[in-house]
Amino acid sequence: MSTQTGSCCCGNIKVTVTGEPVLCHCLDCHKTSGSVFSHNALVLDKDFTLVSGTPKEFTKKGDSGGVITSHFCGDCGTTLWRSGDFFPGGKIVKTGIIDDLTWVGERQATGELFPERKTAWIPNLVKS
């Protein structure tokens, strides 16, 4: 795994992350991504650095029943990562914030979260 830099749309918030991609089909990811699934990286807290900026937070009860916090840029609105009860000691980083598009393009997701909620027309994207 290589360390990558990431940022929001306006560039005010910058991070470094080391992690591997997964797809998530939960309702919260539908809503925060504006799509029917979200491509994310599972990142341990020790492999995440907030380089600059101060994200805003929105905390709620997730559709799994646990508490989840979205961390986003208060200026441009980009959702950067999510944290909560479902992944103690880590973060779910939105891979769309990764600055190196090649890194994202070369990494197929290694797993799927909430596959039982997957939209019916989406094929099995993760090889078993």
Residue 5 structure tokens: 């830099």
Q: Are 85 and 68 in contact (CB under 8 A)?
A: yes
Residue 81's CATH number: 2.170.150.70
**Model confidence pLDDT, tens digit, residues 27-62:** 888 888 888 888 889 899 999 999 999 999 999 998
Residue 122 lies in a domain: no
Residue 91 lies in domain: 4-117
Residue 127 lies in a domain: no
Q: Quick one: pLDDT at residue 104?
A: 81
Q: Which residues, given as ranges, of the chain have pLDDT below 70?
A: 1, 126-128
Q: Are 113 and 126 in contact (CB under 8 A)?
A: no
Q: Quick one: pLDDT at residue 126?
A: 60
- Rounded Cα distance, 80 and 97, in Å: 7
Residue 86 lies in a domain: yes
Residue 126 lies in a domain: no
Residue 89 lies in a domain: yes
Q: What domain count does the chain have? A: 1
